[in-house]
Amino acid sequence: MFDAIVIDKSDDKQTVSLTQAGADQLPEGDVTVDVAWSTLNYKDALAITGSAPVVRKFPMVPGIDFAGIVTDSQHPDYTPGDKVILNGWGVGETHWGGLAKQARVKGDWLVPLPDGISMRQAMEIGTAGYTAMLCVQALEANGVTPDSGPIAVTGAAGGVGSVATVLLANRGYKVAAVTGRASEADYLKGLGASEIIDREELSGKVRPLNKERFAGGVDVAGSTVLANLLSMMQYGGTVAACGLAAGMDLPSSVAPFILRGVTLAGVDSVMCPAKKRRAAWDALAKELDLSKLGGLAVEVPLSEVIATAPKFLDGQIRGRVVVPVA
C-alpha cells in the first residue's frame, strides 16, 4: 500500500482524499516509478476542486508531473535506479498521476532527468516551466529575437509566467510582465522583468488594432487578455498562447493577422512529441538560472495539497508549487 491523493465520483458528486492505494491498483504501463517529487499546477487545481472536467476516469490520482526513480521496467530505455521525469500525456487526467508515492506509466512518456538538475529542481520547473520553454522556442521559431522589441508575459506571477520571465530575460529579451497583482512587482523585477503592466490594461474593450507595443507575447490567459495582446502586437510579431486563466474564448478579430502579419502560435505540452520535449528539457537544464528558480518555488506536503488547490483558482499562488512525495 502507498499514500495517494485519490479523486472519486459517485452520483455526480466528486470526492477527494489523501488515502492508501494498492500496487495492484496501479494502471497499465511498462515502467514503475517511486515518485520523489511532484507539483501542483493550475490544471491539478481544476482536477482536485472539480471546477473543470479535467479528470476523465474515476478513481483518479491527480498530478500532471512527477520526478522519481525507476523500480521496475520492461522498457528498453530504462532500468531500475534511473531518475526520470514525466509531464503530461494525460497523466492525472486519464491515467494515474504524480500525487502518490508510486506511479506506473508507459516508458515512452518518460524523459531521463537531464544532467545538472536534481529531481526537486525538475519539479520546480515542472509542466509550467517546460511549457514556458516551449513558448519561448515558438517565439524564436517565428523569428522573434531580443532585438525585435519587448515581450509581454501574461499571468507573470504564476507558474508558466514566472519561468517564462526568467527564461526570456536570460536570453536578453526585455520582458513586460502583465500581472493582476501589483504587490508582486518586486518579485517580477527580481525574475528579470523590465516593465510591470497592470492586467487591467489588457482587460478592457477589445479594439481590432491598438498602438504597436510588443514584438512577442507569452499568454496564459486567453479571452479578452489575449485578444487585447494581439491588438497590441508590432508588425510581424508572434504570440505563443498556452492557457485559459481568463477564459476559453477569444473575442478578437482578424485585423492583427491580416493587417500586421501577426502569428498566433498554439503551445501544447501534454501531447508534445518526445523529440521536442527532450529539446525543451535540455535547454531548460542548460540555461535556467537555478538560483532564481529556487526562489520561485514553494513546498507543499502531500497532506496539504487538497487545501492548497483552491488558492490557484483565486490567483493567490506565486510561482511554482512543489510537492515532496517520497
SS3 21: strand
Separation CA 317–CA 326 (nearest Å): 23
SS3 157: coil
CB of 138 to ligand NDP, least distance (A): 11
Instruction: Rank residues 60 and 197 by Cβ distance to ligand NDP and give the closer one.
Output: 197
Residue 248: which residues within 8 A CB-CB, separation 6 or more?
222, 223
Instruction: Rank residues 105 and 226 by Cβ distance to ligand NDP and give the closer one.
Output: 226
Instruction: Rank residues 98 and 180 by Cβ distance to ligand NDP and give the closer one.
Output: 180
Residue number, nearest CB to ligand NDP:
158
Give the 3-state secondary structure percentages of the chain, helix then strand then coil, rounded to 5.
35, 30, 40
CB of 222 to ligand NDP, least distance (A): 7
Torsion sign across C-alpha atoms 278, 282, 288, 290 = positive
Instruction: Rank residues 27 and 315 by Cβ distance to ligand NDP and give the closer one.
Output: 315
Phi, psi of 221 (to 5 degrees): -100, -40
Which long-range contacts (C-beta less than 8 Å, at least 24 apart) are formed by 17-24? 17/306, 18/302, 18/303, 18/305, 18/306, 21/61, 21/100, 21/102, 23/102
CB of 167 to ligand NDP, least distance (A): 13
CB of 80 to ligand NDP, least distance (A): 30
SS3 62: coil
CB of 154 to ligand NDP, least distance (A): 6
CB of 165 to ligand NDP, least distance (A): 10
Bridge partners (DSSP) listed for residue 299: 322
Instruction: Rank residues 22 and 294 by Cβ distance to ligand NDP and give the closer one.
Output: 294
Instruction: Rank residues 42 and 109 by Cβ distance to ligand NDP and give the closer one.
Output: 42
CB of 243 to ligand NDP, least distance (A): 3
Contacting positions for ligand NDP (CB under 6 A) = 41-43, 127-128, 131, 154-161, 179-181, 199, 220-221, 225, 242-246, 267-270, 312, 315, 317
Instruction: Rank residues 106 and 311 by Cβ distance to ligand NDP and give the closer one.
Output: 311
Separation CA 55–CA 8 (nearest Å): 10
Residue 110: which residues within 8 A CB-CB, separation 6 or more?
31, 75, 77, 78, 84, 85, 86
